[in-house]
Chain A
C-alpha cells in the first residue's frame, strides 16, 4: 500500500474513531437537568401525608407494624428530629424539585458520577459511575447512603447501601439501616420515572417497589432550604413520645374513613396484589363516620 493510501486509511480510521468515541453511551437517556414532580401521583400520601394506620400495600412484617402502631407524630417535633432529611430512597417522594447533573473527568470525558439535589432539606446524593466499591460495613451511614450506578440499556440502575434508618411511609412505617435500595431511573423524553426498590431484611418480607414521576422543567429555580431547630413543644429533654403497645387510639380512623376492612389496613405482602381484593370481600368494615376524622 502506498504512503498516500496509508494516510487516507489512517484519516478514515481517525474520523471513525472520533465519531464513535464522541457518541455518548445512551445519550438519549441522560437524566441530567431540572425536573419537577407530578403530585397527582399518590397525592394523598405525599402531600397531606399518609393517614395513621394506613399500611395498605406495604410488604411489612409484624415488627414494622408494631413500630408504626407505636409511632407518635409528635416525635418529629423533637429538636433532634426537626431538620432530619429524608433518606435518598424516600427523598424522591418529597415536595421537591430535582436537579441532576453529571460530573465528568476532564481528561477522559467519561462520566464519573451523577449528582442529585432535591429542594427538600437540600438533600444531595452522589451516584458513582466509575466502578468504585462500596465502603466496608463499619463505615458511616448517611441519609444519601453510598450509591453506585450502571446503565442497563436506557435505564440508569443505582444501588445504594449505607443508608441511615428512615421510613417507608411517613406514618411510622420504618425502613432499617440494613436495607439496600435499587433505583431505576428512566427518561422518556420530557418525563422521568424513578422506580425505587427497597430490600430490607429487618422490616420487609418482600421487596417494596414504588415509582415517582417528574417532568422536565429547565426554567425552574432551586430554592434554598435552611432549617433551624426551634422549641416547638416544652417537654423534658430525653422524653420520647410513643404509644404503648395496643394503646394507639387513632388506628381505626383510616379504615373507618374509607370503608376499608381494618384487617386490610394492617398491610403485609398479600395486600400488594390484585387478588387480595377477593379476600377483602369477606372482611368486615367499620361503620363510616359522618365526617371524615383524621389525626395525621
Chain B
C-alpha cells in the first residue's frame, strides 16, 4: 500500500485515541528505552562500519544496528538508530556512498531504530514522479521515502488535533499491510517481510536477495533475551515464528555456516547457525513456561522456578531496560493470554 498524506489524515481520523497515546503509556522497559537510566553517552559514541557482503554494510553504535544497501540507484537504510547519532550515521553513510539516500525501511517503531528518521530522511530524496507524486506534488521528492508496516505509522503519529509522539517528518511515508512487500533497488530484489505480533505488532524483516543478507530488527538480537513489547502487540509466539522464518529463508554454505548473513537488531553479525542457537534457546524457554502453565503454576511460581537459569549468564539481566524477570513475565503473559 502506497500511503500518502490524504490517506494518513483519513486513517488517523478513525484511529482509536488509545493508539495516539501508546507511546506515553509504553511499558516500563520501552519507556526506559526512550529515556533509559543507563543511556549511553552518545556524544562520545562512534558509528562503526562493517562490510557484510554484496551491497550491504552494517552500522554499529547508533542504537539499534543499521543496515546500509549502497549501489548505483542510491542508498537504502534499514532503520536509523537514535536521533542523537544522526549526524554520525550520515557521515558513515557518506563514507560508503555519495549517492542519494532514497529509502529508509523501519523494522519497528522503537526510537533506537526510528530516532534518526527525521534527520536522515531529510538528507535524502525520493525519486518522485508517476504515482509516487500523487496528491503531494513535487515535494514528494524532498526527502527519502520511509517504509514501514502500517502500525508503525499508527504508533508514531496521532489523530488530527492530538499531539503525536514523534515529529511528522519522522513518520513513515509509505506503509504496507500485507504479509510481504517487494521492491527492486540497486540491482537486487528486496523482500520486506511482516512478522505479526512478535517484538511488536509492526515488525518487518528485510531480505536482500542478491546480496543474501537478512536484516531482522529486534526479532533477533545477540545480546539479551528478545524484548516482547506486549503493550505494542508483541508476543513470544511471534518472536519464535520470526526466528523460524529467518531459518527458513537462510541457506548456509559449508558446515552450516556462512551463506546467508543475518544482521540482528542489536549485537554482532550472524549467520543461520547463530540464529538456530537463539531459536533453540527461546523455544526451549517457551516450552518450559508453557509446561508450567499447563501444570497450573502462577506467574509468581513460574518466576520462582527460574525457567531461564541455564541461559541467564549469557542473555539475562537483573537491571536495565529488559531484565530476565520482565522476559519471563512477557513469555508467561503471551502464553496465558492465548485463545
Give A contacts to B, CB under 8 Å: 61-67, 70, 75, 78, 80-85, 121-123, 136-143, 164-165, 176-178, 201-203, 227, 237-240, 242, 244-245
Chain B, interface size category, equals 35 or more
- In the complex, what distance in Å separates the CA atom of A137 from the CA atom of B223? 11
- In the complex, what distance in Å separates the CA atom of A81 from the CA atom of B272? 10
Q: A140-B268, A202-B313 are in contact. Are A238 and B288 (CB under 8 A)?
A: no
Please name all residues of chain B whose beta carbon is closer than 8 Å to the beta carbon of A143 when the two chains form the complex: 255, 257, 273
Please name all residues of chain A whose beta carbon is closer than 8 Å to the beta carbon of B240 when the two chains form the complex: 238
- In the complex, what distance in Å separates the CA atom of A244 from the CA atom of B294? 13
Contact assessment for B268 and A84 in the assembled complex, using a CB-CB cutoff below 8 Å: no
B17 at the interface (CB under 8 A from A): no
Chain A to chain B contacts (Cβ below 8 Å), 22 pairs: A63-B310, A63-B313, A64-B310, A67-B310, A82-B256, A121-B255, A122-B254, A138-B48, A138-B50, A138-B60, A138-B267, A138-B269, A139-B269, A140-B269, A164-B274, A165-B277, A177-B274, A178-B314, A202-B313, A238-B283, A240-B284, A245-B305
Contact assessment for A142 and B248 in the assembled complex, using a CB-CB cutoff below 8 Å: no
A78-B276, A80-B272 given; name 16 further pairs at CB < 8 Å: A62-B309, A63-B312, A64-B310, A66-B310, A80-B247, A81-B256, A83-B252, A83-B256, A84-B256, A84-B273, A136-B50, A138-B58, A242-B287, A244-B291, A245-B305, A245-B307
B271 at the interface (CB under 8 A from A): yes
**Which of A70, A83, A140 contacts B255 (CB under 8 A)?**
A83
Contact assessment for A85 and B279 in the assembled complex, using a CB-CB cutoff below 8 Å: no
Contact assessment for A237 and B255 in the assembled complex, using a CB-CB cutoff below 8 Å: no
Interface centre among A61, A82, A121, A164 (most CB of B within 10 A): A164
Please name all residues of chain B whose beta carbon is closer than 8 Å to the beta carbon of A240 when the two chains form the complex: 279-280, 283-284, 287
Contact assessment for B276 and A80 in the assembled complex, using a CB-CB cutoff below 8 Å: yes
Name the CB-closest residue of A to B255: A85
- In the complex, what distance in Å separates the CA atom of A85 from the CA atom of B276? 14
Please name all residues of chain B whose beta carbon is closer than 8 Å to the beta carbon of A137 when the two chains form the complex: 268
B244 at the interface (CB under 8 A from A): yes
Q: A62-B309, A80-B247, A141-B268 are in contact. Are A123 and B257 (CB under 8 A)?
A: no
Please name all residues of chain B whose beta carbon is closer than 8 Å to the beta carbon of A242 when the two chains form the complex: 284, 287
**A-facing residues in B308-333 (Cβ within 8 Å):** 309-314
B270 at the interface (CB under 8 A from A): yes
Name the CB-closest residue of A to B286: A240
Please name all residues of chain B whose beta carbon is closer than 8 Å to the beta carbon of A82 when the two chains form the complex: 256
Interface centre among B244, B307, B310, B314 (most CB of A within 10 A): B310
Contact assessment for B50 and A141 in the assembled complex, using a CB-CB cutoff below 8 Å: no
Q: A81-B276, A85-B257 are in contact. Are A139 and B50 (CB under 8 A)?
A: yes
